[in-house]
Amino acid sequence: MNLDWLAPANEDAKMPFEVPQSFTRKVALGFAAYILFVIYPAYLGLRMLWGTYTFEWQSLLTAVISAVVFGLFAYKTMNDYFRRRPPR
């Protein structure tokens, strides 16, 4: 097979690509924290600014559950993509 027309295969591409699970765990935690401490407060802030905000436990609970479930989903997805697996 003539590979000349393809993009180059450098020597440094042969270095193993390994992403530790501790990294994906930290990223997933960061995502969950971003939902709880950035996205949700920004949403509440906007509602307050427009005078349509009323505190509801249900809203806070939804934010917490969303952050946890999304964190778990992100952790699983990232690990799946970074995992070494033979092509189908």
Partner 1 sequence: MLETFSTTLAPYYLQIKFVHLLFVAMWFWSTSVAYSYYLVPLFKAWQQAPDQIDRIHLRNWAMERFDDGAILEHIAFPMVLITGTTLMLIGGWNPGFGWFAMKLVLVVLVFVPIEVMDYYLAHFGGNKEAIRQSGAIEAYEPAIRRHWYFLVLSTPVVIVSITYVVYLAITKPF
Q: Which residues bind partner 1 (CB under 8 A)?
A: 1, 3, 6-10, 12-17, 27, 31, 38-39, 42-43, 46-47, 49-52, 70, 73-74, 77-78, 81-88
Instruction: For the CB of residue 86, give the shortest distance to partner 1 in the complex, in Å.
Output: 5
- Closest separation between CB of residue 20 and partner 1, Å? 13
Give the Cβ contact number of residue 42 at 10 Å. 10
Closest C-alpha among 86, 49, 40 to residue 67: 40
Long-range CB pairs of 59-63, under 8 A, 24+ apart, other chains included: 63/35, 63/36
Q: How far is the CB of 43 from partner 1 (least distance, A)?
A: 5
